[in-house]
Amino acid sequence: MEIWELGAKNIREQVLRKEISAQEVLDSFLARTAEVEPKIHAYIELIEPQARLDAARVDALIMRGEDPGPLAGLPVALKDNLNLKGVQCTCASRILEGYISPYDATAVKKLRKAGAVFTGKTNCDEFAMGSSTENSAFGVTRNPWDLQRVPGGSSGGSAAAVAAGMAPLSLGSDTGGSIRQPASFTGVCGLKPTYGRVSRYGLVAFGSSLDQIGPFGNSVWDCALALEAIAGEDPRDGTTSKRPVPRYTEGLKRPVKGLVAGVPREMMELVTDPGVRREFERALKIISDLGVTVVETSLPTTEYCLDVYYIIAPSEASSNLARFDGVRYGRRAKARDLDEMYYETRGQGFGIEVQRRIMLGTFALSAGYYDAYYLRAARIRTLVRRDFDKAFAAHDVLLSPTAPMVAFKIGERVDDPLAMYAADVLTVPVNLAGIPALSVPCGFSRPDESGPELPCGLQIMGKPYDEETVLALGYAFEEACSDWFVPKTAAMRKSLSSQEECEVVVRDTI
Amino acid sequence: MSETQYELNVGLEVHVELATASKMFCRCKTKFGDPPNTNVCPVCMGLPGALPVANEEAVRLGVMAALALNCRVNLSSRFDRKNYFYPDLPKAYQISQFEEPLAVSGYVELASGKRIRIRRLHLEEDAGKSMHAGDDITTASYSLLDYNRSGVPLAEIVSEPDISSPEEAREYLEKMQRTLRFAGVSDVKMEEGSMRVDCNVSVRRKGEAQMGVPVELKNLSSFRAVTRALAYEYDRQSRLIEQGKRIARETRHWDEDKGVTVSLRAKESSQDYRYFPDPDLPRLELDEAFIESVQRAMPRLPNQVVDFYVNVLGLPKYDAEVLTVDPNLVKFFDRCVELGGEPKPVSNWLMGDIMAYMNAKGLSYDTIPVTPENLVAMLGLIKDGVISGKIAKDVLIKMFETGKAPGDIVKEEGLEQVSDDASLSVIVDSVIAANPEVVAQFKAGKDKVLGFLVGQVMKASKGRANPAKVNIMLREKILS
Amino acid sequence: MKIDVKHVADLARLKLSEDEMRRLEKDLESILLRMERLKALDVEGVEPTFGAGDVQRLVLDQDRPAPGLPREEVLKLAPSSEGPYVSVPREGTPGDAPQGSE
Ligand SMILES: [Mg+2]
Ligand SMILES: [Zn+2]
């Protein structure tokens, strides 16, 4: 078995036992990347020289007998909307092409301190706006399970990198499902922590009241390890919680027997793919067998969540993205005067989906419409939160499929915003409520008779700051499925090696 | 057009920079005059991913300002985003308090007893500074940006349109400036931009119920500019009304050199700032205990000081008003009194020679060129007859220049009054000998001429003779 | 739902072609049409939620200055600079030589 095929847990243990060096670990992942990246295009930029320095530093610490940190030598890929000092941070947008960040995001700083080795910046939808990673100025990322399909989005590059074995861990950001939905589409684990659990400092803001950074991993354990490293209060982000950070990896084996899980009926009504529904129901059976009481429950506002989300997130985004004006950094269009500079820089620099959301949000905040749109949405958000509070009064966790469908074909939805937005319908309620949720692979569906099987995800939603219960149930579930899921992933990765390289598709609407 | 037919209504928006060491939402320095773009960071440059963290001291100073201006402090307030594009505004939004300001309902009381009501006081961040390369705003081909000021904390103080003359506007601003300076919340210097004033001016016929169309005035860089611009606008607008013309709702720019206001932009297409609560900043929650602690820490405000000077120290009202022009002056005066200086002489010297010297040198009151100890010592020398009041003026100049104690100066320069009988006697004798006619007149009963002889003795002694003693000695020597 | 796309694009400082304008108009109108459903909900007296965290009070930091970014780094990021300043084309009348990095 190659090093890259081992999970984060095994790699870390072997590094700490000095059986392998951080540099050998990196070599293995870089070799794997060289092999499959031309087919996947998960990265916007690989940063091999810096990564080698990071790995050497970890090895030096181990040699000296110093503590290299809990992520000792683990390669981590970063979504390109996270600031890593000295490295380009483009958010997959032309407007930031060539922008070299002068500072580290708090999550990045914490990972480095924990001994992580950064491999590069991964592709995503421009400014994290999208559900397929097709809205990137730097080409489309492909789904390792079927190269004709999207990896989901917006953190599609981070998801695909882990799924294809290019990195054992990666970070993404989740504003309306951007970690969980691509995790579901690519058959990996992805966690959106509670709002306020992980500092947003250094994450390029999209919807500030919704954004959270979270990890992707091959297993729940890997996600728990990464969360442990990045969570906690940050004096630079006044919305982070003071609560102490539990040892998530140690809580994984907590008994799940006796937990009560609710399945919101309104969410189930939104599941369009019969295969997804079938696999979810099978997952419920497995969970019942673990001793969890599974009952139907209700979140009456579910049907409004997508609309509320598509008012609040674009409103905040319209303000957050106003700073990309070509004055202090990023690209500036040629212009004769100030106004022309603004219009041309922003007209040329942003892709169509980003412009669409800026327009939507600008409208929702504008004079005469604020009350009817933004304020009304903010009030309904309160109702959504109340629904969740009520549901959590009677249930320890809530369960649903992560996405109502499996990965769709590249180009299939990209020109129909409402069809694209529908991919988030089961994930946005979680962001509106600010609660934690994990997507863990739960089965396969074959939408095309002739095509390959595609993974689908189980979404486990928890009470605010109760990542421990979410992770514990995810861990128990994963254990129960590992004998059939793990071999399928291995087979996918193997077949990936034999596939043809794929050309980079850059969509012309960007 | 009859002057009295029209009524002026002015509301002022005053921005003052709060005297913190670091900025409102980041910890960059706020120091005025540092080299361009040296006090900046990801937050105040609006770099992608940076987040604001509020400054505790800015909140405390904001509350202090609010209390000093008789405002009611809201226990719960909120920061909003004011969205607009301008190169000096790094995030393309200003964090400000719109819906729920820090404080409301205050006032400034004028000498007439009239109260100018303050509608609200809120906290916000300053923008950077743009300069126009080339000749001026109309011919420059590009602008230069310095972000040192970006994010400096401001209190914006908005009055009701209660001001009805340029003089009232000036008095309101001066009172506010003094008050805020005494409260220690700001330097409040218009010339350094730590106090900035915008006016909303309207004119209507007397007796009309409806307010006139408000016109906004910008670029008022001194109190004088404010009064001149208001006087100009009053004339302009009342003339337009007289002619039956419509007053445009617009923003006008005060041209200091030409002494006129010129239209900058129409307000009809008024900016849509798309205010909304800043999701990065939870509500600002204060408690009564905090506000009480700020109130307790409040330094004495100018009107309290004036009361004390007049009623307790017995100073004339005029002196009290002059001394309370600046807290440093008050501190200096108080210290002098504490050291045993008599209030009125101390006041006289401060308002006279000291202020004259400082004005000539362009000094501000935080650098008074003598110490209270030395001034009081000098007054003691006068009182004890060691030096005359006239000599004291020269000693004071030496004190300014050398920083030495007056006693030392007097000794080194030999400026003590000549009081010993032997030395005086020699001079008096020579004066008597040199002026036989005058002496004869005096002997003949013409008492008034003694003054001339005293003057001659003083002159001969280079001012050092003790005049009282000279007087007695002359009488004795001539009449005996 | 009619929406003045030109006005909104002006507020957002976006230069859009006629085609893009038409397309966005159509997209926004269909999105807003869907959102009409929200009007059916009674939100009378419901407090709005503007943030999702458990931090309910503004966190206040001590007023202690800390170093920021070196000026060279700040100026290096800027598309154009002059001396110690960031520079931008001025406001005003078109017709001058184009400014900018492209
Ligand atoms: Mg203001
Ligand atoms: Zn700063």
Ligand nearest to the CA of B154: 1
What residues does B97 pair with on adjacent strands?
none
Q: Is residue A228 part of a domain?
A: yes
Position A350 in a domain: no
Question: Any idea where the domains of chain C sit in the sequence?
Answer: 1-42
Instruction: Give how far the C-alpha of residue B220 lies from the chain's centroid of Cα atoms, to the nearest Å.
Output: 16
Query: What value does the mean pLDDT take over residues A495-506?
Result: 85
Counting every residue written for chain B, the total comes to 480
CB A73 within 8 A of CB A117: yes
d(CA B45, CA B447): 82
The pLDDT tens digits of the residues spanning A76-92 come to 999 999 999 999 999 99
Buried b (16+ CB within 10 A) or exposed e, B74-90: beebbbbbbbebbbbbb
Burial of C46 (0-12, 13-18, 19+ CB in 10 A): middle
At residue B139, the pLDDT reads 53
Instruction: Please name the residues between 24 and 43 in chain B that touch chain A, using a CB distance below 8 Å.
Output: 42
Q: Which residues pair with A160 in a beta bridge?
A: none
Give the tokens for residue A18.
């000095």
Q: Which residues, in sequence order, are bridge partners of residue A213?
A: A173
A322/A43 Cα distance (integer angstroms): 26
Structure tokens at A67: 């503590």
Residue A361 is assigned to a structural domain of this protein: no
Structure confidence by residue, pLDDT tens digits, A320-348: 999 999 999 999 999 989 999 999 999 99
Q: Is A471's pLDDT higher than 50?
A: yes
> In this structure, are B13 and B162 located in the same domain?
yes
Strands (E), chain C: 60-61, 81-82, 85-89
Closest CA to B96 of A319, C17, A372, C16: A319
Q: What amino acid occupies position B167?
A: E
Q: Which amino acid is at A203?
A: L
Q: Does residue A503 sit within a domain?
A: no
* Within-domain flag for A278: yes
Distance from CA of A341 to the nearest CA of B (A): 11
pLDDT digits (tens, 9 = 90+) for A283-314: 999 999 999 999 999 999 999 999 999 999 99
B102 contacts B77 by C-beta, under 8 angstroms: yes
Contact A292, A257 (CB under 8 A): yes
Q: For residue B138, what pLDDT is reported?
A: 52
Contact check, Cβ <8 Å, A325/B85: yes
Q: What is the dihedral of CA A378, A384, A390, A392, to 10 degrees?
A: -110
Residues B207 and B313 placed together within one structural domain of the fold: no
Q: What is the CA radius of gyration of chain C?
A: 23
Does residue A366 lie within any of the structural domains? no
- The answer to whether A115 and A71 are in contact (CB under 8 A) is yes
Provide the residue range defining the domain that includes A101: 6-301+379-498
A contact test, residue of B45, B85, B86 with most A CBs within 10 A: B85
With respect to residue A217, please indicate whether it lies within any of the assigned structural domains: yes
**Could you tell me the CATH number of the domain that includes residue A190?**
3.90.1300.10
Question: Residue B434 belongs to what domain range?
Answer: 421-479
- The total number of structural domains in chain A stands at 1
| Greatest Cα-to-Cα distance within chain A, rounded to the nearest angstrom | 70
Whether residues C52 and A195 touch (CB distance < 8 A) is answered with yes
pLDDT tens by residue, C11-47: 999 999 999 999 999 999 999 998 888 998 999 999 9
- B251 and B367 in a single domain? The answer is no
pLDDT mean for each 10 residues of chain B (480 residues): 77 97 98 94 98 98 98 97 97 97 97 95 96 62 93 98 95 95 92 92 88 90 94 92 87 90 72 95 96 95 92 92 90 92 90 89 85 87 80 84 83 72 82 88 86 85 78 83
Give the total residue count for chain A.
Answer: 510
User: Does B328 lie in the same domain as B247?
Assistant: no
Asked if residues A91 and A80 have their Cβ atoms less than 8 Å apart, the reply is yes
What separation in Å is there between the alpha carbon of B76 and the centre of ligand 1?
Answer: 19
Residue of A206, A328, A334 for testing the chain B interface, max B β-carbons within 10 Å: A328
Q: How many domains, in total, are found in chain B?
A: 3
Q: Which residues of B touch A235 (CB under 8 A)?
A: 53
Q: What is the mean pLDDT of chain A?
A: 96
Which CATH number applies to C1-42: 3.30.9.10, 3.40.50.1100, 1.10.20.60, 3.30.300.30?
A: 1.10.20.60
CATH of the domain at B430: 1.10.10.410
Per the structure block, which two tokens stand in for C87? Answer: 């520079």
Please check the confidence at residue A509 and state whether its pLDDT lies above 60: no
CA distance B26 to chain A (A): 9
Contacts of A23 (CB under 8 A, 6+ apart): A52, A55, A56, A59
- Predicted pLDDT at A499: 85
What is the model's pTM?
Answer: 0.90
Residues B18 and B120 in one domain: yes
Confidence band (pLDDT; 50, 70, 90) for C96?
very low
CA of A160 to the centre of ligand 2 (A): 37
- State the Cα torsion B200-B203-B208-B214 to the nearest 10°: -30
The partner residue sitting opposite B49, judged by closest CB among A203, A316, A367, is: A203
Q: For ligand 1, an ion, list residues with CB under 5 A.
A: B 156
